[in-house]
Amino acid sequence: MKPKINIAFNNGVLGAVSPLDTGVFAFMASAVAVPDTFALGKAYMVKSMKDVAALGITASIDNYKLFKALSEFFAEAGEGQEAWIYGMSKATAVSEWFTEVEGVSPAENLLNAAQGKIRGIFTVYNPTAPPDLGAEVMDPDVPVAAGLAQTLFEKYADAKYAPFFTVLEGYAFTGDKVELDSLLTQNFNSVGVLIGDTENRSGATSSNGAAVGVLAGRLAAYSTKVNPGKVRNGALKSQKMFVVDTAVELYDNEALNDKGYIAFTTHAGRTGYFFMDAPLACPVDDDYHYITHRRTINEAFRLTYDALLDFLLDEVPANADGTIQAIYAKTMESAVVRKISTSMPEDLSADQTDPKDVGVKCFVDPSQNIVSTSKVNVNVGIRPFGYNRWIDVMLGFELTND
């Protein structure tokens, strides 16, 4: 055969996105099985609404909420972004999705099916019968589910080195912002709770949940450092936003934000809706109170593990007193710094005036006695970005006196 060059035309790229691994999210949802195409308790991967349709998930009453979440996700993230779906019986509460049965919860089964690729789980709750609120102003199962999701996060990060975050709906919120419990006293720094939806409570498709698809899509569209409420990135695609039956622009969403909930907002001089911020259910002084910091540190966690795995059970050159030879310690440090800085450079706040500063530091103390302990302590630090949450301006007249 004559040597030649083969060039083929690639089709289907225009209008698509360059998918981000950091934007691989999953939707756990109350759903109804579709014969032959969509079973409950099984993980499915989709990259477009065409894939969703192939599973038989449509805007029908049975699976409307899941369909809505996925359509809003792809509207924000773009076709081509990987997402996972896991249907649960409508007779189960969200807390049951994170509850272990014989040592494994449904959420963990989902994570395992995706082999650790999932960076965030978003819940879509649509029970057969609405929950009994009693004297509560939000489904009392929400904080229970949050605690269980935090426990799974800690377990999975420790066992599989694949940390993730979870966003729950502020399900069945009555609109009473005064009686609503604050999340700032919780310690769930990998869990967020979203209030607000693209549909209202009294509409034809009554909403008790939240627009998790919108949040997931906006997060998936940008790297980990980017706040979903970043104004420069433009308004959300959704044209309507409500808290219960009140339009977002008429509701006191700042009160929700002040209690640690993820909420929507509008900005004077800008058309459309935005996220006010993205806090997680923990105190403000927690290093991971904001989802940007949680997502960034989660990626650094995964990369640090990957960089150091090659050193596991490695032969370590030792000095006469059993301590680590300095050159080997430097080798470990360099491996970690190189892995993180080359894999997520846009998410690290490196000093632009210093070519040697990559926003990551790693230190392996060579004075550790590796011979007697067989243990090496490694300290890794990454520099996050800051965010303009408040901009104070002093404005006045400027006159020049000659």
Instruction: Return the HEC string of the chain.
Output: CCCCCCCCCCCCCCCCCCCCHHHCEEEEEECCCECCCECCCCEEEECCHHHHHHCCCCCCCCCHHHHHHHHHHHHHHCCCCCEEEEEECCCCCHHHHCCCECCECHHHHHHHHCCCCCCEEEEECCCCCCCCCCCCCCCCHHHHHHHHHHHHHHHHHHHHCCCCEEEEECCCCCCCCCCCCCCCCCCECCEEEECCECCCCCCCCCCCCCCHHHHHHHHHCCCCCCCCCCHHHCCCCCCCCEECCEEHHHCCHHHHHHCCCECEECCCCCCCCEECCCECECCCCCCCCEHHHHHHHHHHHHHHHHHHHCCCCCCCCECCCCEECHHHHHHHHHHHHHHHHHHCHHHCCCCCCCCCCCCEEEEECCCCEHHHHCCCCEEEEECCCCCCCCCCCCCCCCCCCC
Contact in structure between 308 and 378 (CB atoms under 8 Å)? yes
What span, in angstroms and rounded, lies between the C-alpha atoms of 48 and 31? 19
CA distance 11 to 22: 25
Q: Which amino acid, 112?
A: N
Q: What is the pLDDT of residue 11?
A: 42
d(CA 376, CA 378): 6
Q: What is the pLDDT of residue 4?
A: 47
Cα–Cα distance between 224 and 234 in angstroms, integer?
17
Q: What pLDDT score was predicted for residue 265? A: 97
CB atoms within 10 A of CB 126: 24
Say what the pLDDT of residue 18 is: 56
In the chain, what are the domain boundaries? 21-294, 315-402
Which tokens is 378 given?
């490694």
In terms of Cβ atoms closer than 10 Å to its own Cβ (0-12, 13-18, 19+), residue 301 is: middle
Reading the block at residue 263, the tokens are: 């909420």
C-alpha span between 317 and 328 (Å, rounded): 7
Give the orientation angle of helix 106-113 with respect to helix 141-160, to 10 degrees.
40
Q: What is the pLDDT of residue 3?
A: 52
Q: What is the C-alpha to C-alpha distance for residues 179 and 183, in angstroms, rounded to an integer? A: 12
Average pLDDT for runs of 10 along the chain of length 402: 50 51 96 97 97 95 95 96 97 97 96 97 94 91 98 96 97 97 98 97 90 98 97 96 97 97 97 97 97 97 96 96 98 97 95 93 97 96 95 91 68
What Cα–Cα distance (Å) separates residue 139 from each residue in 94, 222, 318?
A: 10, 31, 58
